[in-house]
Each structure stands twice: as structure tokens, then as C-alpha cells.
Chain A
Amino acid sequence: SKQWYQRRVAITAGEYKSYLSTMAGHEEKLFESIQCVEITSQVIMKITRHSQHELEKQLDPHVNGVLLGLINENKGVLEVTHCFPLMNNEIDEDIETNREYQLEMERSLRLVNIDYQQVGFYQSTYLNTHCDRNFLENVFVYLEEMKEAIAVIYDPLKTKLGNLNIRAFKLSLPAFRLYREEKDFTATMLKDNSLTFENLFKEIPVMVKNSALTNVLLCEIDRIQESTACLTLPTSSYLEKSMQMLLSGLDEVNQDLQKINLHQRNVYKQQQQLLQNVQKRKIENAQREKDGLNPLPEEDFSKQFKPPPPLGRLEPLLSSNRIAAHCEMIEEHVRNGIGKLYLADSFMS
């Protein structure tokens, strides 16, 4: 009966393994199923309005809110049809009210036939500084519930300078799986999963799609006020601020390098001490043998000299991501700026 029992355990273990692999495959399929995000212009207007409203109240706000919509599996498209804003979680009671608010809105929207499924959240950013641990945590929480959830980032500064900027992100699959197990990564984990700062987040292309009636409405409200913001010369303080952000990001990376250096030195020192102690023991034992005494046991010194814990690599990954995003932004700005300068030149000469 012991053999039978062992066989049963083996079979269930095998079944469980195959179940896990199908679950993993299924998860991967869901993760990769969304190729594109379609947003209605209504949602974009709401996000811009919310951001503008908060901007009028304070100088550097972070707005966030919930996106609602549905998944169109045939076309691999996530449609975002509605959104509502949330309050900033600065006070504890705000978090409670936010939760109540979300539940209440869900219930009420059902009554008016609006899609009530939460497909992600939106957040506004200031010169691409949104990419921090909080953001990662939020994305992870939404992804856990629904594998197709996305995070939409809106850049109000860039929009003010004339280029509407809306992007959608989600965690890449290896990053998601890793974060599920460990809250902080080590270098070996990163190597095993071949994670670099470039494939931490995955960007999904965003398209704007409206129903026919909304398009008619847009025609009606056409040309109310022309915006010439797009053609402003690149002389504003935008470039200055971006450079400052870049510098602070580089500072962080520098500090991280120093930490790594320190860590390496500590590890080396530990190993040296360990070797020294082992040598000392050997010499002592040789001495004792000469004296005719019993040799001392060669203790396992590794327990006493535990190596310092490996450094968490999540923060440096995030800051590298931020710096790369800053560089991209600045390059884009510079390229357009050169074009605009030539344009201004042709006017003035």
C-alpha cells in the first residue's frame, strides 16, 4: 500500500505540474492578447479636464483615476470607453472614500448601461517621473485581478506645449511573474529572467476611436478656438526642467554604483576573514598535534561569517527606466525644436 500511495502522489504531482504549465501558458496568452488599446475621445477629454482642474488648485499634482471598458478578444483590442477620477491618497480617509466611491460608481454605472468593468487606471506624470515603486505596485495590483489591465499615462506639460501625449503601459510577463514572488529583485534573478530596464514595462500602442455620433459632435464643435501651442519655439523652461530631472536621475545611478562598490568590498572582506579563520584553525591544530593534544574540530565558520545580503536591484532598474525615458523625451523635443527654429528663421529673414 506504501507503493500504491507513492504512485498516487507521483501521479498527482505530475497532474499538478501539467496544470501549472497550462495555467502559465494561459496566463501568457492573456498577457499577450492585447495588441492595441482603443480610447474614445470622450475619455481623453475627461482625463485632460481632470488634470487641468487639479493643476488649477496646486502646482504639481498627480491625478489618477480608474478606466472602464471592455475587451474585444477577436481583434485583440482593449476598448476604454469611460473613466472616472479618484481623489489623491494623501489622507487616510481619502483611501476609504476612494474605495466606497469606486464601489458606488460601479453599481450606479450599471444602471445607465455604461461598461463597468475596470480595465486599468490612468495617471498624470510630471516630466516622466511617474515610474516609481508606487506605480509598479499599482500596475501589479491591477494585473493580478485582470491579466489584460493597462495603465495609461498622460503628460499634461507636453500637451500644453502642443503635443497630446497619451501612452499605455503594462508590466512585461517575466517582470510580473518575478514581482509576484519577490518584492525586490536581486541580480541573479534578473540574469535568470533576462530582465533589463528596457523590458521591465511594455508599451502598448494607443489609438483613438469614436462612434459615429461622437464624430458628428466633434464636427459641430469644430474650430472653436485654434491652438497654436504646437508651433512654440523650444525656448521655454521645458528643456531646462528635463535636464534637471536627468541630472537627478544620474545622481541616483551614481549613488547606486557606490553602493555596489561598497557591497563588493564587504563581500571580499568577509571572504578574506573566513579564509583567515580557517587558516588559523589549521595552524592551531598542527600545533596541538605537535603538543600531543586532541585537535579542535574544524568548525564551520561560514555560519559565523554570513555574507551580507545581495542588494535589491528594483530601485536602480526603475531609475534607469526613468533616465531612458527622459533621454527619449529630450531627444524628441530637440529634434522638433530644430525644425521649428528653421521655420522661425524663414519667417524672419
Chain B
Amino acid sequence: KQWYQRRVVISAGNVVDNFERREDSNKRVIGTLLGRYDKGTVIISESFAVPHQETDEEVSMDMEYANRIGELQKKVNTNLYTVGWYSSGIVINEHSSLIHAFYKCQCPTPVHLTVDTQFKEQKMKINTHISLPIGVKGGSEGCIFTPVQYTVQGSEAEQVSLKFFNGLKLNKKSPNFNDREQLLSNCTDMLSQLNLVLDHVKKVLSGSVVPDKELGRQLMEVVQSVPNLDTDTTTNMLNSHMQDLLAVEYLTYLTRQQLAINARINQVL
């Protein structure tokens, strides 16, 4: 069975936050993943950290804590169930299988999410696994963690937030919550994308790049998606719209003056 999983950004962020705040004795952190099942897909929406200690020989975790907080979260976020657990670092060893066994009691097929906070491969790799039993029945048995595909998805609002955080990554300066600046950055983004496409088209025309049929078809779609109306209708539409907006702005200006006068009443009463 192939399980595809959708994940929202939050759980991975939680892992990172948890990892940063860990006790120095622990090399990694674990926590529970919450989400729901949806026709063969597991949707992971939330997560919380669980205190645990781990040394080379033994591992222990606070199961009562996990249960208690799990119940609390379910009360507040209804329709979220335990779907698995996460850990930082990509090492999967017998301790992991022990912890996995605990989570097997809570849900049928727990998902194991790892976030590589130590950059073993020069980037923060995120993996998801499920465990399948292997071995000979009656003989030596074990389980193997097989990787499963995942995609990151989010709602419209979350996508907007992610786009907003784009400015943070490169220059560490906080982007302003001013609407106009967000619009400006979106426009510049679009402009750079258009330039990229134009560049490519020019190169294809001059013959330096081999044309790609699929790309060409998509470009055709984009160009044709602009509504093809005659100039009169478009100017009329735009003008009437513009007039609406200007009228509304005038009204709000009037309202503000009225409000200022109204505020003076308190001085007079």
C-alpha cells in the first residue's frame, strides 16, 4: 500500500523549535504528530513535544505526558488524532522501533517523521517512514522503516504567510506588514518571473536553446488566458471600476471628518 502524506509546515517547525530548546544531554527530541486520515492519505496538521531521555543503552519517554497532552489537544482541536511521531536527526535505530511500538498502540499505522537538524547532507532533509514487519514468522522478526512519499500543502492563508516569510530568509530583515509593501514585493516577483520567461523565449527564437514542446504549450495557455476583448469594452470596464473605487475613497474621507466632529462632542457635553 502506498501512503501519500500531506504535511503542513507547522510540524517541521515544531521539531526545529523543540530541538533548539532541548536539554543538553539529549542528542535528539521526539514528539507526537496529530492529524487525520483521508482515503489513503495521512494529513499531518499539528504536533507537540514529549519529554524523553536517551542514552546509548536505554531510552525512556514520558508516556503519561503523551497521553495526557494528546487528550487535551483532541478536546481543543476536534477531529485530530494521533497519526505518528517525529524525531530530529536522521538516525533510526532500535530505540526508534521501541518508541514506534508505543505509538502503534495509539493508531494503526503510525508515521515516523524525521527532520535532519544536523545537516548530514548539507541541507535539512525531511523524511517520512512507516514501519513494516520483516523476517521469518516464528524465527527472527523485526521491522523495517520504509520511506514514504510526502508533499507539503497548505491552505491559501498559509501559502500567503509562507510567501510573506520569503523576505526573511535571505537578508534576515523583518518584512513590513504594510499592505503596499507586500503588493510591491509581489509585483517585483511577477516581473522577475516574466523576465525569466521572456529570456527563455528569446533564446529559443535565436536558436541557442532547444525548444520544449510541453513548455511551449504551457506558454500558449498563459498567453491565451488574458481575456481578448476589444479596447472599448476594457476601457469602459476599467473606468467604471476606477470610478467606484474613487467614490468609495471620497466617502471614507467624509466619514473621517464626521468622526472627528463627533469626537468633539465629548468635549462639549
Contact = CB atoms under 8 A, between A and B. Distances in A.
Interface of A is mostly: helix
Nearest to B8: A49
B166 to A, nearest CB: 8
B160 A45 contact: no
B161 A164 contact: yes
Contact of A348 (B69, B124, B227): B227
B152 interface: yes
B124 A234 contact: no
Contact of B124 (A166, A220, A260): A220
A282 interface: no
Interface in A82-111: 82, 84-87, 97, 101, 104-105, 108, 111
Contact of B16 (A86, A217, A231): A217
A208 interface: yes
A332 B245 CA distance: 11
A337 B77 contact: no
Given A108-B65, A227-B156, A197 B269 contact: no
A197 B263 contact: yes
Interface of B is mostly: helix
A213 B248 contact: no
Contacts of B263: 196-198, 320
Nearest to A81: B17
B256 interface: yes
B269 A187 contact: yes
A340 B23 CA distance: 51
Given A113-B21, A335-B180, A341 B157 contact: no
Interface string A271-302: 00000000000000000000000000000000
A313 B45 contact: no
B252 interface: yes
A180 interface: no
Nearest to A211: B20
A332 B68 CA distance: 46
B249 A227 contact: no
A209 B160 contact: no
Interface of A: 38, 40-42, 44-46, 48-53, 81-82, 84-87, 97, 101, 104-105, 108, 111-114, 156, 159-160, 162-167, 187-188, 190-191, 196-198, 206-211, 213-222, 224-227, 229-231, 234-235, 239, 243, 246, 250, 253, 257, 260, 310-311, 313, 316, 320, 323-324, 326-327, 330-332, 334-341, 343-345, 347-349
26 contacts: A42-B13, A48-B155, A49-B46, A51-B157, A113-B21, A114-B17, A164-B160, A165-B177, A188-B269, A210-B168, A211-B17, A213-B16, A220-B123, A220-B125, A222-B166, A224-B154, A227-B156, A231-B190, A260-B265, A320-B259, A323-B259, A327-B259, A336-B183, A345-B234, A347-B226, A348-B227
